[in-house]
Structure formats: C-alpha cells, structure tokens
Amino acid sequence: MRHLFDQYEQPENRLTHALVMGLSQDNKLLKAFVLYFLGRKIPKRERLVIVEQTVPGKAEPTEEQAEKKGLPDAFIYSEKSGWALIIESKIEAALTIDQLERHLKTARKHNFTNARVLVLATENKLKNIPKKYKAASWPTIYTWLSKHRKKSQWARLITEYIEILEAKMAQKEQLKSGTLTKFSGVPFKNENPYTYIQAKRILELIMDELKKRKGIKNLGVDSNHPGRPAIKSGKDNSVWDFMKLRSSSINDAFTRHPHLTVVINAETVQVLVTMPNRVKNKIRISVFGKDIEPFASLIEKIAKNMKSVTRMEPTAMPYLQVLQRHYKSQSSTPIVDAILRYDIRTVLKKQESKQPKIQPQWIQTTYDVMTHKKSNIQFEFGVIFPYQDSKILSKPKAIDAFEKAFVAIKPFLEMAIK
C-alpha cells in the first residue's frame, strides 16, 4: 500500500511533502518549527499558512511544472504581519545560490518584503551556504521532530517516514552525500523485531557517528575509509561493517590487519576488535610473543577498562573469542568448527558482586590455541549488547557505550601495532 506521504516521484519532494503535510495538520508544531528555525515567536492569535510547491494565491502545479518553474518547495507565511519563510529542500539534487535568490525575488513580488529562505539538505550540501540564508540539515530536522514525538502524532509520523525513505534510498544506493536521520538508538526488541532494511540504516548511522568521535579517532581509525562496499544481510540474519586503521597498508586487504567491527543481528549489537586469521605474522608475535604473562596482563587490563561500559549498560558482556572456521570455497559461507568465547571478567582476581565467577584457566587455553594454531582462526575482543532488558540501546546515548567499548580495547591495538 502506498504510504500517506508518497505523493511525488522525486525523494526531495516526498520528504518536503511529509514535512509540509505534518506541519499543516498540527498548528502548535508549525509554530514551534518557525520559532526554532527562524527565531520568530508566533502570537497565539496569529494564523500561519503553509503551501507546497507554489506561492500564496496561486494554484498548486504538477510536480513537473513546479520543477520547470523553479518554485519553492514550501512557503510558510503570516497573513497578518506579512512575513514569510521559504523552504528549499535538497537531498541529492544540486543546490545553487541563484535558485535561492529567485525565491526571495518571488516573495517580494507577492508583497512579502520580510522573507527568509531556509535550506534543508544533507550536511555535505550546507557547507558553502551564505549566512544570509537559514540552513538546517535533514538529521537536524529529524532530531527536532523526534523531541516532539510524544506530544505530536504528526511529528511521529514524519520521523517514521524519514526513516523509511532513508532506508529505501540507501537500499537503492540513491543516498550518497549524507544521511537524513541521526542515530537515536537501536529499537529492536520482542515487540519490534529485527529487519534487514532497518538494521542496515541504523548500522550506517552508527558507523557515521563513531567515526566522528574523539575516542575512535584516538584509536587510529581511518575515518575516510568507506568500510564495506555493500552491506548485505547474512544468512545468520545480521549486518556488519568495519573501520580500518591508519596503520594498515593502503593496498592491503583489511583481513591482513586488526580492525574495528560493528555487528547488528536479531538479538544483539556487537562491537569488537578483530585480529583476522590472515593477519601479518609480526602483529601476531606482538600480541602473543614468547611468554603468556604480557598476554594475561593485557586481558586483565581490558577487563578492568570494561567497567566503564558495564556501569553504563549492566546487561553488556565484555568477551574474548577464538573462532575456528573453514570454507568449502572462496565465496561460500564459513563453517564454524570451534568457538571459545568467555566473559573476560572471569579472569579478574578481584571479583565484584553479580560478576561471573573467576576461572583464570581460560587465559592459558586461549594462549595455547593462538600459539599453536594449525587452522583458520580469528581472535577478537568485544562487547555484546543484548536488546532485551537493556537500559540504553534504544536511546541515542547507546553510541556512547559503543565508543567506550572500543576505547576499552585500546591496549590490544597498542600491543598489536608497535
């Protein structure tokens, strides 16, 4: 069934239509919008009018006619005081200053001498907008609307539609210059099951946000590296992407170096640092060396660092994993032969309440496997965040926990990349 807001062909027009329709149906939301983005407080008795792809007093043209005439995407005005807010919306289409100037001239022709232009676009397109024009990114619009979701059903409907449109555009590879939304949490639970399209959208937002974080940059991540060329759904009902380190050779495959990975599946989010099977031998020697003591100290140090994560999210499980696999062919799904995974809090000598019981022998087992490996074995440190009973996963601050998890594993990267 066609969505309520899907009345146009072009994504820019669909997005504007969703915003205009929602604002036109909720006068309080419309006045709050004008106050926030224009700084103009509207008196209670003052009536606002909003029209789409036309100017006041003119009939609404077809989508094709509006494109040819260069009409504003939306026009908000006051019949009483004669001011206007003109909205120009862009996602992937080009934006020109001449177009914005024409909108102001059109407003003046219709006796709106006090008119301002508000440009809505992805963040990349707003970098060179002159200060005489107002500008807001679509993620900013999305965040603002999200704050009004509880009080306005139209704000909720618009945000939901922006999420749907972004997911569809990403799937068709139509969204190349930024995002429409901002990470606001991972919503999956029993009552809101995992879906591939939504998981892919959320994963892209997580990776985009993490690459901006100071803690991630301090780990040596190459923020300009795009990660996976295509994020597809795995047979295990999951999506994943990785961040490459600057220390990695430009020409080397990411499987030759440690890297940071985020996985979203049907039950959890996992953040982990991986040492692949094909990692360079000097890196493997740096981590495991000739003695178990430095390796044991490394695990204990990371386990202590993880307290900052578990304080924030008590259901999170910091873990160490050794994974043995083999492949029937280069393109086939890996077959798991063995998994050794344990909560790294089991190696801490000083136990806190409600922690797993100590079992330090896991360190010896891990060390023996990694120093006598004869098969395809991947080694990783990470944190598992389960959806059910989580306090923060469905909230924007979940990204803080993901960042803390990666930062906690920093000693491993420092040891591996000397």
Q: What is the pLDDT of residue 1?
A: 40
- pLDDT for position 70: 61
The Cβ-side half-sphere exposure at 283, using a 13 Å CA radius, reads 20
pLDDT at 5: 58
Buried/exposed 258-280: b ≥16 CB within 10 Å, e otherwise: bbbbbbbbeebbbbbbbbbbebb
Q: Tell me if the domain spanning 202-416 has CATH number 3.40.30.
A: no
Angle at 357 between CA 414 and CA 313, to 5 degrees: 60
pTM over cut 0.85: no
Each of the 418 residues of the chain gets a pLDDT tens digit; together they read 445 555 556 777 888 889 999 999 999 999 999 999 988 888 888 888 999 888 776 555 544 544 545 688 899 998 777 789 999 998 878 888 999 999 999 888 888 888 999 999 988 888 888 989 999 999 999 999 999 999 999 999 999 999 988 888 877 777 766 789 999 999 999 888 999 988 998 999 999 999 999 999 999 999 888 888 777 776 678 999 999 999 887 777 888 899 999 999 999 999 999 999 999 899 999 999 879 999 999 999 999 999 999 999 999 999 999 999 998 887 778 899 999 999 999 988 776 767 788 898 999 999 999 999 999 999 999 999 999 999 999 999 999 999 999 999 999 999 998 7
Domain boundaries, the chain: 11-168, 202-416
Under DSSP, is residue 177 helix (H, G, I), strand (E, B) or coil? coil
Return d(Cα 328, Cα 334) in angstroms, integer. Answer: 8
What's the token pair of residue 389?
């009973």
Strand-strand pairing, 317-326 and 376-386: antiparallel
Only one residue has tokens 């000693």, namely: 411
- Three-class HEC string of 258-270: CEEEEEEECCEEE
CB atoms within 10 A of CB 75: 26
Q: According to the model, what pLDDT value does residue 365 have?
A: 96
Angle of the 11-25 helix axis to the 153-171 helix axis, nearest 10: 170
Q: How many other CB atoms are found less than 10 A from the CB of residue 256?
A: 15
Q: What is the pLDDT of residue 58?
A: 59
Copy the structure tokens of residue 215. 């803690």
CA distance 357 to 347: 9
Rounded distance between C-alpha atoms, residue 152 and residue 149, angstroms: 5
Quick one: pLDDT at residue 9? Answer: 65
